[in-house]
Structure 1
Amino acid sequence: MTASRPDDNALSTGTDYDTLATRFRPIFAEIASGAAQRDRERILPHEAIAALKAAGFGAVRIPVQYGGAGASIPQLFRLLIELAAADSNLPQALRAHFAFVEDWLNVPSDADQRAWFDRFASGQIVGSAWTEVGDVAVGQTKTKVAQRDGRYFLNGSKYYSTGSIYAEWIDVYAQREEDGSNIIAAVSTQQNGVVREDDWDGFGQTTTGSGTTHFKDAVVEPRNIIDFSRRFKYQTAFYQLFHVATLAGIAEAVKRDAATLVRNRTRVYSHGNAPHVSEDAQIQQVVGEIASWAYAAQAVALQSAEPAQRAYVARFGHDDAAEHAANVEAEIASAQSQLVTSELALRAATHLFDALGASAISKRLGLDRHWRNARTVSSHNPLVYKARIVGDWAINGTEPPFEWQIGNGPGRGSK
């Protein structure tokens, strides 16, 4: 059911972007200066996350009257593109946080919402723990919340716990032990019952903190156990837009590095076209193509965020049909944009090496991280399924799935 519309001032419909971005750009620049080293030495960006927290980055979507910036969803993703250009690990590390924020933006105003807004405004952030690996079937959840002696305890293990190692809270997908209903448990990390491991072993996005989290009788406050059915309806599109923004930021970083390295390069080939590589027409063409792909990726990313903002506003419009249509539009837009930005970012990250010599493969430069990171982000949700969903919508008007899960299938021999 559509929620009651709050006062318009309590909706985050946008702010002056340049003023907002100016607050964070010095932090982005500092983050960018250490990105290659962090990737090379696998240094977790605790200092970078702390700086973003202190500057209020995690509260940009919160309405101004509650201590945030009142940014729209497109403005949030424009900021995330800038952050991803500095270090593509950071938007992904903050992905669960902003989804949790979005959920609280979509509920009627009450004391619980205000308590979470206060936490976000103070700099607290939320990580994720949804996915289970190993002997878990599709649709199965082994992580449970159980009541004992009037208190609630969470037990289980999760992988892909992105951002949780930096967070004060974890958004955990679990089930109630007594009836098997799906819930979200917001669990404080400041307790012995939460054990976070940095064991993510992907070849890209290595510092997102996406490893294992164990919950061993972790205490959960009753008010922080939320029926999963309450989650905001455009959540899947919103989650996927983080990948789109990250890919657009990677393409922008490739453009930056290509232009800088060509500009500063002194060595030339005897069979080149100019006495300085920056004047070589063929190299200029390579960088021009990369720049154009980065421009296109960013344009697609920003356009694809607009439907999510419309879905957010429609939540309070007292028109269930219009809200549903907005949610469908947001989902299709996010799927289409993933297909395009994935290709553009990967193409740019490969073409980068056509503008430079063998010295570009030096580990010191870390230019390979752009391709590894883009390939990792593009692998989270199979693009072939995205294309099929978009095609089925275009041909048959079949609505996209708004939720999906991963786990062991029944096997080839099943009937």
Structure 2
Amino acid sequence: MTLLQRDIHLSTGTDYEQLANRFRPIFTRIAEGAVARDRSRDLPHDAIAWLKEAGFGAVRVPSRFGGAGASIPQLFQLITELAAADSNLPQALRAHFAFVENWLNAPPAAEQRTWFDRFVSGQLVGNAWTEVGSAEIGSVNTKVSKKDGRWVVNGSKYYSTGSIFADWIDVYAQRSDDGSDVIAAVSTHQAGVIRKDDWDGFGQTTTGSGTTLFEDAVVDEHDVIDFARRFRYQTAFYQLFHLATLAGIGQAVKRDAATLVRERTRIYSHGNAPRASDDAQIQQVVGEIASWAYAAEAVALQATRPSQRAYEAHFAGHAEAEHAANLAAEIESAQAQVVVSELVLRAATHLFNALGASATSTSKALDRHWRNARTVSSHNPLVYKARIAGDWAINGTEPPYKWRIGTGPARGNG
């Protein structure tokens, strides 16, 4: 009898409408302040607090442990709705849900229950994986070591998305004693963790990305975890967040295009109708945007299904089925990125063809849709995802399940 058959309380899904209706009033409140936050670069501390209080960070935790028991496709449906309200919020929560997913894939134990209780209580987890500057590819300068009988973390990270809002930070580091790669779950409620809001990107400006410094930051021994334990479909899972965020941006573009055309009173003498909303060419523009947004969301949601299969297969005792699901998760998320990025960027540009020059007013902040989509699409470069998909289609070459970024070897003089 398999583990799954013995019922170890997996999160396989719940009533989506009932689940979403818990959060839709919050999404509406978040949307109301999205433009103002973008214009003033105001971090969404209030919005994050509303989501925490409503239990948003625990939707994947099994219902037996106080969560909602949502499936991965249901999680990303929610993320798409949240991204339509403000695309910065999903990215700020991306590391949290990946950390949750890692514990969902862990064997049942006291530590797993401890973390489930933390998630259900509203505690959030941020990210500190990437090192910039002279760090060579494959190297980790952030170290976990023993000092005065305690484990401590020292190092510097950038792109620490969501860490400004978090109670814990998921830190990718290296043990100084044996050189092994680990994940350290470091509490932010200590002086040894210093978070800086110095992200300078032109899009996704309020995700809480920036520099995090660790100066003898204390970490519990139980929270220093061998990196090899990370769930296998993690790269695909991280990519699904970008896809859902892009799909949400597409829905926001459609919403704004339809609303602004409907409300528009000014027309052109060489237009096709006495009202912009009745102009056949403008209707075509909005219809194309709506179609691209529809396709982007459909593709993004389709790409979530293999990860759910991989999650369930992990506990079913079928190694071949688990491997096939992990493979499909990587390939489908890569293929989806190539398509969804193109569709949403096209929609965010086409929006301006439905409106006049007044649409470029900074008060409307309509450019944020393109800036945000372009920024999200720049993570995990599209060209490499397309190559991976092509190499699989042509040669059957399996994709990389984990990858790193860093400084390459110096160029030779020959």
Structure-1-length-normalised TM-score:
0.98
Alpha-carbon distance between aligned partners in 1 of 2:22 and 2:322, rounded to the nearest angstrom? 34
Whether the 8 Å CA contact 1:60–1:70 is kept in 2: the answer is yes
| Superposition deviation, residue 180 in structure 1 | 1.1
Give the corresponding residue for 1:141. Answer: 140
Give the 3-state SS of the residue equivalent to 1:94 in structure 2: helix
Q: Deviations over 1:104-127 (max 9, x none)?
A: 000111100000000000000100
What does residue range 155-234 of structure 1 map to in structure 2 within 5 Å? Answer: 155-234=154-233
Structure 2: which amino acid aligns with 1:365? K
Structure 1: which amino acid aligns with 2:216? D
1:97 counterpart = 2:96 = yes
Alpha-carbon distance between aligned partners in 2 of 1:65 and 1:32, rounded to the nearest angstrom? 32
Give the corresponding residue for 1:115. Answer: 114
Q: Which range is displaced more, 143-152 or 217-226?
A: 143-152
What does residue range 221-300 of structure 1 map to in structure 2 within 5 Å? Answer: 221-300=220-299
Q: 1:9 to 1:222 in 2, by over 3 A?
A: closer
| Superposition deviation, residue 319 in structure 1 | 1.5
Alpha-carbon distance between aligned partners in 2 of 1:227 and 1:59, rounded to the nearest angstrom? 24
Whether the 8 Å CA contact 1:6–1:108 is kept in 2: the answer is no
Q: Deviations over 1:102-154 (max 9, x none)?
A: 00000111100000000000000100000000011000110000012321010
Q: Which range is displaced more, 91-100 or 404-413?
A: 404-413
Alpha-carbon distance between aligned partners in 2 of 1:215 and 1:25, rounded to the nearest angstrom? 37
Give the corresponding residue for 1:17. Answer: 16
Structure-2-length-normalised TM-score:
0.98
Structure 2: which amino acid aligns with 1:101? V
Runs of 4+ in 1 over 4 A off after TM superposition: none
Q: Deviations over 1:360-388 (max 9, x none)?
A: 00000000000000000000111000000
Whether the 8 Å CA contact 1:4–1:108 is kept in 2: the answer is no
Give the corresponding residue for 1:398. Answer: 397
Alpha-carbon distance between aligned partners in 2 of 1:121 and 1:179, rounded to the nearest angstrom? 35
Whether the 8 Å CA contact 2:65–2:116 is kept in 1: the answer is yes
* Number of positions where the alignment pairs a residue of Structure 1 with one of Structure 2: 413
Alpha-carbon distance between aligned partners in 2 of 1:398 and 1:157, rounded to the nearest angstrom? 35
Give the 3-state SS of the residue equivalent to 2:267 in structure 1: coil
| Superposition deviation, residue 412 in structure 1 | 2.4
1:56 counterpart = 2:31 = no
RMSD over aligned Cα atoms: 1.1
Structure 2: which amino acid aligns with 1:112? E
Structure 2: unaligned runs, 5 residues or longer: none
Give the corresponding residue for 2:128. Answer: 129
Identity %: 74
Give the 3-state SS of the residue equivalent to 2:304 in structure 1: helix
Alpha-carbon distance between aligned partners in 1 of 2:213 and 2:338, rounded to the nearest angstrom? 34
Whether the 8 Å CA contact 1:6–1:109 is kept in 2: the answer is no
Alpha-carbon distance between aligned partners in 2 of 1:268 and 1:254, rounded to the nearest angstrom? 21
Structure 2: which amino acid aligns with 1:57? F
Structure 2: which amino acid aligns with 1:254? V
Alpha-carbon distance between aligned partners in 1 of 2:133 and 2:276, rounded to the nearest angstrom? 52
Structure 1: unaligned runs, 5 residues or longer: none
Give the corresponding residue for 1:412. Answer: 411
Give the corresponding residue for 1:311. Answer: 310
Alpha-carbon distance between aligned partners in 1 of 2:48 and 2:361, rounded to the nearest angstrom? 28
Give the 3-state SS of the residue equivalent to 1:391 in structure 2: helix
Q: Deviations over 1:57-103 (max 9, x none)?
A: 00000000100000000000000000000000000000000000000
Give the 3-state SS of the residue equivalent to 2:303 in structure 1: helix
Whether the 8 Å CA contact 1:267–1:277 is kept in 2: the answer is yes
Q: 1:58 to 1:103 in 2, by over 3 A?
A: same
Give the corresponding residue for 2:26. Answer: 27
| Superposition deviation, residue 411 in structure 1 | 2.6
